[in-house]
Amino acid sequence: MFIGGITALLLQSLHPLAMAAVAGHSGYRGDPWGRLQQTSYFLAITTFGAASDARAAIARVRAIHQRITGTAPDGRPYAASDPHLLAWVHIAEADSFLRAHTRFGAQPLDQAGRDGYVADLARIGAELGVPDPPHTEADLTARIADYRGELAGTAQAREAARFLLLTPPLPALARPPYAVLAAAAVSLLPGWARRPLRLPRLPATEAALVRPAGHAMAHAIRWAITPPPATQAS
């Protein structure tokens, strides 16, 4: 989730209107970890929470989206409740988390499992206002391809990438492990998504260093957050 979340933010930033909404209303530079905490809570409650709590969280997000409108630097108006933009954010997130789990997950999913994950996320997307969200990995890939002509590496997107990858507000001790997560996240982006953000593609370095380090970091995080097995009374 850590790695996939960073990948999702980078991929989502490539839609100029979605990025304009984030830059104008999210406050990601002033309180990035507060924003991350809110996003993490939403993902957790809609994945693992009771149905009533999930619906309440979705209703809160939809209410916030209704208030977010503005004009992008290129002069086009945007609204966070626009179904077309909601669909882009949804499919970019689904694709990124699926890529992250496939490469760094402890138990990668088979094709039926990957399709099932996309279908599960479609339920959340539909509740958020996404029209006809994809229900299979193949549909997800096709929907992302449909958006390719709208995507661009705007100045706002590149600034967000630099902030997210190079200058996040972290203490010195946290920077090395975060750098591993960030590098692993970039390694998941296809070439067509890296070029507009001016992110390098170094296949040999990624295969030899980034992927093993990403696996090690993911394993360490899983170890740290997994409760110890219950001991049996003698």
Nearest CA among 82, 119, 84 for reference residue 98: 119
Query: What angle, rounded to 10 degrees, do the helices at 2-12 and 16-25 form?
Result: 110
> 142 lies in a domain?
yes
In a domain, 231, yes or no: no
The answer to whether 89 and 18 have CB atoms below 8 angstroms apart is yes
User: 139: domain range?
Assistant: 2-224
From residue 1, how far is each of 33, 131, 151 by CA, in Å? 15, 25, 24
85, 108, 88, 86: which is closest to 98 by C-alpha? 108
- Residue 159 included in any domain: yes
Region 228-233 average pLDDT: 62
pTM of the model: 0.87
pLDDT at 215: 76
> What band does 234 get if pLDDT is binned at 50, 70 and 90?
very low
Reported as a single tens digit per residue, the pLDDT across 21-47 is 988 887 666 666 667 777 778 888 998
Residue 11, pLDDT above cutoff 50: yes
| pLDDT, tens digit (0-9, with 9 covering 90-100), for 159-212 | 999 998 988 888 888 888 889 999 999 999 999 999 999 998 777 777 777 877
* Beta carbons of 208 and 175 less than 8 angstroms apart: no
**Residue pair 195/87 in contact by the 8 Å Cβ criterion:** no
**Residue 92 domain flag:** yes
Is 32 contained in some domain?
yes
Ordered alpha helix ranges (H), the chain: 2-12, 16-25, 32-48, 51-67, 83-104, 111-128, 137-147, 155-165, 175-187, 191-197, 203-205, 211-225
The yes-or-no verdict on residue 15 having pLDDT over 90 is yes
Q: In angstroms, rounded to a whole number, what is the distance separating the alpha carbons of residues 79 and 70?
A: 7
Tell me the pLDDT tens digit for each residue of 53-67. 999 999 999 999 999
Pairwise CA distance, residues 180 & 120, whole Å:
29
Q: Is position 208 within any domain?
A: yes
Q: Residues for the chain: how many in total?
A: 234
20 contacts 70 by C-beta, under 8 angstroms: yes
Kindly state whether residue 57 falls inside one of the protein's structural domains: yes
Domain count across the chain: 1
Residue 44 maps to a domain = yes
Closest to 156 in 3D by CA, of 69, 28, 32, 37: 28
- Predicted local confidence at residue 31, as pLDDT: 64
Strand partners, 69: 79
CA separation for the pair 124, 53 (Å, rounded): 13
Q: Please give the Cα distance from 93 to 44 (Å, whole number).
A: 14
Report pLDDT digits (tens) over 97-143: 999 999 998 888 999 999 999 999 999 999 999 999 999 999 999 99
Distance CA 1, CA 50 (A): 20
